[in-house]
Structure 1
C-alpha cells in the first residue's frame, strides 16, 4: 500500500512539475508515455526523450502559428503552387534557390518587377511562407499602408516605435510600390525604413514600374536614387512578364460558360 501511495505521489509531483514549468503538452502526454514505456520496456532515457519531444513539437507548432499571425500574409500562396508556365522571364531555378531562403543569411534584397497580374505578389507571399517555415520572422505590407502607418506615427509622436517595428522582421515584404502615387513624406518614410535595414535584413519589393521610373513614383529623384543605391547594393532583380493571372482566369471562366451553354469554343 505504501509503495502504491508513493508511486502515485511521485506521479502527481512529476505532473505538477511539468505544469509548473508550463510544459502543458508534456503533462497531458505523461500518462500515455508512462504506460507505453512500461508496456515496451523503455529505458528512462527513452521515455524522457519521447515525453520532451512531444513538448518540443507542440512548442514549435505554436511558434510557427505565431509567426504566421504576425506576418500578415494576404493569401496562402506558396512557391510550390506558382504557375511557372504562365510567367515568362523568370528562371525556375532562381525561384527554387530563393525558396531556400539563403538570401536572408546575407541580407540580400529581392525586387520583383513586372506588369499587374503576372504573379509578383504570389512569389513575394510564397517567399514569406518559405521564410516563416524556416523559422524567420516576416512581415507583409503594401507600400501605401507602410506610408500611411509611418505618417500616422509621426503625427502621434511614435515615429521611433514604428521604425523599430519595421526594422524587426528578418524579411520585410513591401507590395505594390508604384501602383499609387506617394506623397513626399511617404517617400521619406519608405527611405528611412529601407535605410535602417540596409545590409542587416532583407526586403522583398513588388512593383509594376522599372527602377528608372522610381523618381516619378516617389516624386523625388534624389530620394529614389538613395533608396535604389541601398536596395541594389546586394540584391536579386527578378523581371516578370506574361498575361495577367486574373485576365487568364476570366477568359477561362468565359470559355467554360460558352461551352456549357452553346457547346462551342470562343473564337
Structure 2
C-alpha cells in the first residue's frame, strides 16, 4: 500500500467515524498477512469489532441515562434465601417478553426483601438488550410532575417519560400522595397503558393502595390500568438487611466465645 492510499484510507475511516477499525487496522493487517487471512475475513473481523464497540458505548450511554441508584444483577440475587419467589417467573421476565408486549411488573413486599434488586436487575437486562430504561423514586417523580403541572408543561413531561420503553417507579407507598400528585401519576400510568412497560415496587398490598392515593376512584382506575397486563411478584420472605445484621451479630458473638 503506497503512502497516498494509506493516508486516504485513514482519512476516510475518520470521516466515516469508523474509529475502532482505524485503531485496529494496522496491527490486524500484519496479523492477517502472517496468517494468510482472506480479504473477507479481514473485513469481517474489523467491522465486527466496530459493531461491538458501538454496542458497548450505546449500552454505557443507556445505563447512565437509566439513572440506576446502584447496579444489581439477577446472578447476584439469592433465590434460596427468598424462597417465596418463583425463580422461573423471574427468568421468564428476564427474557423481556413483557417489555415487547408492553406489560407491567409489580413487586410487593416489606422493606429489604429484594424488590429494588429485582426491579433494577430487570432494568439492566433491558438496557443490555438496547431498550431505553429510566429509574425514579416515587417521591421525586411526583414532585417533578406536580411542578410541570403548575407550570403548564405536564403534557411535555409526560411525553418525555414516554420516551422510555421501561419506567421503574420505586417506593410507592412510603408516603401518601396529595390530590394533585395522585392526578399526575394517574395521567402517567394512563399514558403508558398498553404502550410501554412500567415496573413498580411497593411495600403496600393492593388493598392498601387506597391509603396512598386517598381517592378510591383514582386508585381503582390506576390499578385497573396497571394490572390489566401485568405480573405481580409478592415477596413474603425475611429482610436481606436483617439477615446481614444477624450474620454480623453471630460473627461478633463468636469473637467472645
TM-score scaled to structure 1, two decimals?
0.93
The residue that corresponds to 2:59 in the other structure is 64
* Pick aligned residue for 2:86 from 74, 82, 91: 91
> 2: CA distance between counterparts of 1:37 and 1:12?
20
Shift of residue 123, structure 1, vs aligned partner: 0.7
User: 2:112 aligned with 1:113, yes or no?
Assistant: no
The residue that corresponds to 2:123 in the other structure is 128
The residue that corresponds to 1:147 in the other structure is 142
The residue that corresponds to 1:192 in the other structure is 187
Structure 2 unaligned residues grouped into runs of 5+: none
Structure 1 unaligned residues grouped into runs of 5+: none
* Pick aligned residue for 1:234 from 229, 241, 244: 229
Q: How many residues align?
A: 257
The residue that corresponds to 1:19 in the other structure is 14
Deviations 1:56-75 (A, max 9, x none): 11101100100100111121
Shift of residue 89, structure 1, vs aligned partner: 2.2
Larger radius of gyration: 1
Aligned 8 A contact 1:150 1:162 in 2: yes
User: 2:40 aligned with 1:45, yes or no?
Assistant: yes
Shift of residue 158, structure 1, vs aligned partner: 2.9
The residue that corresponds to 1:259 in the other structure is 254
SS in structure 1 of the partner of residue 74 of structure 2: coil
> 2: CA distance between counterparts of 1:155 and 1:123?
34
Aligned 8 A contact 1:140 1:175 in 2: yes
Shift of residue 40, structure 1, vs aligned partner: 1.8
Aligned 8 A contact 1:114 1:208 in 2: yes
Shift of residue 154, structure 1, vs aligned partner: 2.3
User: 2:207 aligned with 1:212, yes or no?
Assistant: yes
Shift of residue 219, structure 1, vs aligned partner: 1.2
The residue that corresponds to 2:27 in the other structure is 32
> 2: CA distance between counterparts of 1:36 and 1:87?
51
> 2: CA distance between counterparts of 1:123 and 1:202?
15
> 2: CA distance between counterparts of 1:27 and 1:254?
57
Aligned 8 A contact 1:15 1:30 in 2: no
SS in structure 2 of the partner of residue 172 of structure 1: strand
RMSD: 1.3
Shift of residue 52, structure 1, vs aligned partner: 1.1
Shift of residue 106, structure 1, vs aligned partner: 0.5
Q: Equivalent residues in 2 for 1:144-183 (5 A)?
A: 144-183=139-178
